[in-house]
Structures are given as structure tokens and as C-alpha cells.
Structure 1
Amino acid sequence: MDFGKSALLIAHPAHELLLYGWMAEAKPTVYCLTTGAAYGQTARIGRTESIIEQTQSSLGKIFGRYDDQALYALLLEGRTAPLVDLTWELADALVEDEVETVVGDAAEGQILVHDVWRAIIDGAVRFAAGHYGHRLLNLEFAIETLPNHVRDSRDMVLSLDRQRIVQKEKAICRYVEIQPEVDRLKGRYGSNLIRQEVVRSASSASHWLVHQDKATRYEQLARRQVKEGRYQVAMSFDQHVFPLLKELEAECRLANCP
């Protein structure tokens, strides 16, 4: 399916590997929120730059803006203004680059940064439409849940041929920093992790960027990390994500966003 000029919007380096085949076909502009330097780890964004080069894609204007700790600090301290500014910056870049379709991380209630990035993506799409009159097709791909079916005509399932599968496998093997995660996902989803790529209409925010009856996975993980002494405060949706959503919604109203 031809989506026109596309942008791939990922929260963490290595997410692009899930859409390696699509990238090789669409050659999107790639935006990445973080460096991949999570707790006790070094930045891995250089490997993502190599994937971008291999697939003849291009670097976006926002690329490795934060490490995870800096992003958590903003949310913990309630400093939403830099993230609202980032949302406007993303909208400006998408309009300037004449992007027609954005494909970004889905919100899944699994990883806090992924969900926050989905909120920023959706906000940027709304800012682009409301402020600039530039409408974008807003699509998403799952990271932890890996759906294998479509919901409507805007969804795409790309089945890779043998040559592309080999290329994708080599790219994944070279990304040594993420091998434990690859093994975990392969154990859960088998060969479909490599052979199929699914892009769907963006609707995950309506399920996960709302108040939940029970704790999300990232809230449960945060509580465990506090007990282990890695963090002092447990991140939660109500206290640390919802304020950003309110600010983004207020900006959308000011900009007459749809």
C-alpha cells in the first residue's frame, strides 16, 4: 500500500526493526524520541542510524532528544511545557517535510515512554491539522502485543519475501544490545516477529491514554523498582502522564484542532 511520503516515529532506538521491511519499501523520515540510554545502559541510537542508512531512509529533525532518565525527570517534576513544545516542534517538522503519513509506536500500557510518545504523536497530528491545515494519515504499530490481523482498509499486513527476511534477521543480529528482548518476543510470537509487519489505524490512545481501573504494567514495574532502590518515586498514569495529556488538549483547543 502506498502511503505517500511517510515518517516513522519511534520512542526508542531498535523499534524500527519491527518495520524493517516496510522501511526498505517506504524509505520514511525517521524520528526517534530517546537515545536508548535507559537505566545503567549506554546509548544505542547509532545502530538505528545504521538501519536508516541501510534502508535508504532519512533522519528526522527530532532524533535522540532525551535519555529515559531525563524524560522521567520532566514527568516526575510535572514539567509538561518542554514536551508540549516538543509536540509543536514535531508538528512543524512534519508539515515542513510535507509528510503525508505518520507511522508510530502504539500505546499499550506496557512501557511508559511508548505511551507518552503516542500522546505526543497524536498531539502533533492534531496541531498540524488545526494550526496548519495539514492533515496526516495517523497509523501505528504494536511493540509488545504484535497484532496479526487488520481492522479496516487503512491497515496493512506486509509479508516479507525470503530476501527481505534475511536482511531483517541480519539487522536484528547486529543490534546486539536488544538480543534479550528479541529472544523474549520470539518466544512469544515465533516466526511472525520476522515474517510479518502490521501497521494499523491509530486508535490505541483511546484505550490506554485514559484512566485505568487497575495499574498498567509500567506502574507495576515502577513500584517494584522503587522497592529495589532503583528509583525513589513510582511513576503513575494519573500523577505523571495525565497532566501532559491535559496540557496537550488545552493546546489543541487553542489551535482549533480537530
Structure 2
Amino acid sequence: MPNDDHLTQNELLDRYLNGELSSEQLLQLENSLKNDENLRHELDVLLLSRGKTNTQASNHEKEIYQQDIKDIKPKQKRSANIKTMLLPKFIFQWLLRVVGILCIALLGYGAFQFVNVNPDRIYDHQFIDYNLPINSVQAEMTVLDSLYMEKNYQGVIGSFQSQEEQSERDYFLAAISYMQSEQYEQAILLLMQLQQADQFSSGEQEFDEETDYYMALAYLKAGQIDNAIPLFEKIHQQPGHLFYPYVSQLTFWKLKLLEMKQ
């Protein structure tokens, strides 16, 4: 093969394989390859070398790809673990928000009750119109009984004051009539006398439980909260008490708020 002034034989073959030879150089090289066995051998070696290099490059790319896959899998696993960890955290945060809202609502309700609670509200909610028992109505009725059933409370008070002798029922009905007439101090006085009479009585105490409840209400309306609370507690602690269903825990809570405001 003719020698090139600037290119070695290997460089010339390399350019041949890269398609970088001019037409004249290409023609000369092809003629040389036909006649020169050593040159053809060198070209074959160069071709094999290039094929091995390409294969190594391909293998290297494959290794990089496999490594990328290995890197992706742990990341996916970590992502799944993060999601699993985030779910309980989300539930916990949601529960905290619910508890926070409930606390705010309870505080708001408590503040509202504290501002608005007063003896009149509790009294109006707790007061029950007293009606004579059926067996009492069927028995011989007195003038005072008739006046009470007619809701003539002033008439009941007048009749009670004019009687020389008064029964336990007369005391109790007169006390309720005082309460209906908004004379709570007088009602308390009569109920206390009725309580004292029951303590010394050996017979059946007919209005014992009624006296507990209505005296507590009379104390409440008269502003004597400290005297009202023990009577309400007495009723609430006795499930068999006649007025137990009317004294709830909410009643005590309101009374405590009322006591704090004093």
C-alpha cells in the first residue's frame, strides 16, 4: 500500500472504518487490501477490537441499568414505608383536631352557662306544680284543700293563718302557696317547721320527701345557694327518692357554677 505522509497505517485503517477517507484514499486502500494479506489481517484485528469495545460498552450500560433498577427498588420500598408511617400520623392529627374542636365547644358551652346561669333559670327549670295525691283528694277534703286545687294560693294562706289547728298537709300546702306567691322566706319557715315536726313524730312522715325538694327550691330562689345544694345532693344520692329523677348531674353542675359566681 502506498505510504501517506501524515497518516500511519493504523490511523488510515481507523479512518477507513470511520468513513473518513477521501475518494482517492479509499480507492488506494481498497486496492492495497486486495493485494496485501498482512493489511487485511490488521484490518480484521482492528474490527475485532472495535467489536469487543462495543460489547464492553454495552455490558457497562447494562450494569448501569441494573444498578439503577437496584437503586429504584429501595426507593420504592422506602416510599411505601413512608406512606405506611404517614397514615397513622394523619389519623392521629385528625383525632387531635377532633379533640381540640370538642374542647373548644365544651369551653364555649361552659363559658355560656357560667355567664347565663342564675337562680331564676334553675328554679324555673326545676319547679314542678304540686298536685294533691289521688287518695288525698278522695278522702274528706278541707276548705284549704279545695282552695289549693283551685289554685287560689292567697286563699290557702289566709285559711292556714285562720285555723287553730293545722295538719302536716296544711303546712305543706301553705308553703307551696307561699312559693307560688313568691314569698320564699315564709315558705322556708313553714317547711322548716314541718321538718322539725316530722323529726319528733312517731307516725308516718307524709311529706318528708316533698319537703326536701321544695325547700331546696325555696332556698335557691331566696339566694341561699349553700343551703340548697346539700338538699339537692341528698335527693341525688337516694335513687329511691320521690324526686330523684328531677335532680341530675347537670343540675349540680349549674349549682356549682352559681356557687362560683357568688
Same fold (TM over 0.5): no
Q: TM-score, normalised by structure 2?
A: 0.24
Question: Which protein is bigger by CA-based radius of gyration?
Answer: 2
> Which has more strand, going by share of residues?
1
> Which has more helix, going by share of residues?
2
Q: TM-score, normalised by structure 1?
A: 0.24
Question: Quick one: higher RCO (CA 8 Å, sep 6+), 1 or 2?
Answer: 1
